[in-house]
Chains A and B, each alone.
Chain A
Amino acid sequence: MSRFDRWMEESARSMARRTSRRGVLGSLGALLVGVGALPLLPVARGAEKPAKPGKSDADHQDATQDETRCDYWRHCAIDGYLCGCCGGSASACPPGTVQSPVTWVGTCHNPADGIDYVISYNDCCGKSSCGRCLCNRNERDMPLYVPFRSNDYDWCTGSSVANIPYHCSTARVLARAT
């Protein structure tokens, strides 16, 4: 199975799970100010495959606390390779990359404590694509003409050191949302 096939399957499963919990998120009042990090790959909803049998609600809950998963709570508006899968973490860049100072900010709901947090999606730059754990979630995403709410830009563009070579995306907690 190619990387893209795997990604498409994972994305489809992730989307399916996310769709099912959208009502829950809505009722909790989660505000997903969607913006992303980089050129993205849209989700293959048309090619969606059913979730693998045996996946339980417990698995689903765990995914929201696993920074290597697309379903991780901080990734509510991320778009790209997850730095937690690339030698970094949800907040730290992998060795040898540069964290872009230009960022966009979203608000994600943490189901573990029931609190909304402001999330800063800084990209890690200066190397080729990490290629692992591709994740694209488009909540509240806007077109390119609303730049700081659009996940279609490569936000490494703001890095004077590394410029546009995009490696992966972090999802840093900035503060509790008020």
Chain B
Amino acid sequence: MRTVRTAALAAVLTLTCRAHTAVAGPVVAADPLGVVATLPAVASPHWVWVNDIVFSHMSDGQALLVDGDSGRFLGMLSTGFGFERVVLAKDGKLIFSPETYFSRGTRGTRTDVVTLYDPSRLSPVGEIAIPPKRSANMPMMADSELTDDGAFLLIYNFTPAQSITVVDTRSRRFAGEIETPGCALAYPTGARSFFSICADGALLDVHLDDAGHVSSRVHTRDMFDVSRDPVTEKGVRLGSRWLFVSYGGTVYSIDITSRGLESGPRWSLLSDAERRQNWRPGGLQQLAVHATSARLYAIMHQGGPETHKDPGKEVWVYDLGRHQRVQRIALRSPAGSIQVTRDDRPLLFAAFIGSTTLEVYDAKTGRYLRSVENVGTTPTLLVTP
């Protein structure tokens, strides 16, 4: 048997050598083994992380990185069970990912961690153990956020008791847990502060000390009309102002002031005529802002009062100084999630959880630029550097 195999191998080698000698001109050099691509140390402002809960197989969460300029798929992270989103360090040198694992896949001991990833190699470089309480919910940006100076990572817990896990990113340690009974999610308001939204329409205004423990906690007066026209939890921030939109299209401003959190201007995305035509905002990540041009982007569709999660085929753009619409962008496909890059030549990304195509538009002109196919399974939140 060995003789037969040896003879066969010799024949193959002979043929290979003859084939080589028959080639005239340059030949393709042999490829080395073990080469792994890396990314530039500094992320392009036109990159986007497409976060994916992988709804049909939730133990296999993913974060997928795409270059909006070329449409090139750059790489991905595997991020565990019930994944919500990655949080990018303020200096761009680390990626934080709150993750959940079970010792036997979908059963066994639950372990929650914040995994730290090297943004060039897209590989884990550390992890921080946190209480196994991370909320499992439809992904929202406010599920995990950094304080303004990047010192603390805030993670929403739901067991169903509500609380916030605080992680010190400098020491890379769990700093503590803040109970937030009746109040959900974390919206940063400064280097040592955030608020949660409460079921009664008030806010829980929380300030931290340098160790990440509570230094003050104030339950504000009611800011939103929860019973008549609730705001979604999908707020966006522009400097010292958080913007929330209600199911019916009213924009509520929450201003961060030296006196605390205050209710700011209230205005509508809709004219009376548009309201009569049943236009309304909708989607999972339905708002985006571009800071330098002070523009608000909102996914819009026509539908009844129970369609607040529906995707839309239009993005309406508003001047936040004048509270007036300045543009309507027609999308190629319905979008439930949008994001706008932070630079001066901003891109608008659009995705939908029921599709695997990421669309890219010029955020200033609304011009369609390109589509990137087969990005994930059930894309949820779009996160840009």
30 A/B residue pairs, CB under 8 Å, sorted by A: A4-B354, A39-B53, A39-B82, A40-B138, A41-B353, A41-B354, A44-B310, A44-B334, A45-B282, A45-B301, A45-B310, A46-B311, A47-B311, A47-B333, A47-B334, A141-B306, A143-B232, A146-B199, A146-B226, A147-B158, A147-B199, A152-B137, A152-B140, A153-B138, A154-B82, A163-B102, A165-B59, A165-B102, A166-B58, A166-B136
Measured between C-beta atoms, what is the minimum distance from B335 to chain A in Å? 8
Chain B residue at minimum C-beta to C-beta distance from A7: B354
* Residue numbers in B under 8 Å from A129 (CB-CB): 55-58
Docked pose: A165 CA to B197 CA in angstroms: 26
A77: nearest chain-B partner, CB-CB: B306
Are B136 and A157 neighbours in the complex by a CB distance under 8 Å? yes
Residues of chain A at interface, number, CB under 8 A: 44
Q: Does B174 contact A (CB under 8 A)?
A: no
Known contacts A126-B107, A139-B306, A164-B136; can you find 11 more A-B pairs with CB under 8 A?
A41-B55, A45-B307, A46-B301, A128-B59, A138-B308, A140-B306, A142-B230, A147-B158, A147-B184, A153-B158, A153-B160
List residues of chain A with CB within 8 A of the CB of B312.
46
Q: Using Cβ atoms and an 8 Å threshold, which residues of chain A touch B333?
A: 47
| Chain B 306-341 interface mask (CB, 8 Å, partner A; 1/0) | 111111110000000000000000000111100000
The 0/1 profile, CB within 8 Å of A marked 1, for residues 185-221 of chain B is 1000000000011110000000000000000000000
Asked if A3 and B56 sit within 8 Å, CB to CB, the answer is yes
A131-148 interface code vs B (CB 8 A; 1 in, 0 out): 100001011111111110
Query: Is B233 in contact with A143, judged by CB distance below 8 angstroms?
Result: yes
Contact: A46 with B106, CB < 8 Å? no
Q: What B residues does A46 contact at CB under 8 A?
A: 301, 310-313, 334-335
- B130-156 interface code vs A (CB 8 A; 1 in, 0 out): 000001111110000000000000000
What's the least CB distance linking B315 to chain A, in Å?
Answer: 12
Say whether, besides A158-B160, A165-B106, A153 and B137 are in contact (CB < 8 Å). Answer: yes
Interface size class on chain B is: 35 or more
Q: Mark A19-45, 1 if CB is under 8 A from B, else 0.
A: 100100000000000100001111111
Residues of A within 8 A of B159 (CB): 157-158
Given A46-B313, A128-B58, the answer on whether A39 and B138 have CB atoms closer than 8 Å is: yes
- Chain B nearest CB from A153 CB (Å) reads 5
Instruction: Tell me how far the C-beta of B219 lies from the nearest C-beta in chain A, rounded to whole angstroms.
Output: 13
Q: How far, in whole Å, are A158 and B303 apart by their CA atoms in the complex?
A: 34
**A44 x B354 contact (CB < 8 A):** yes
Chain B residues within an 8 Å CB radius of A172? none
B311 A42 Cβ-Cβ under 8 A:
yes
Q: Write the nearest CB–CB distance from B178 to chain A, whole angstroms.
A: 16
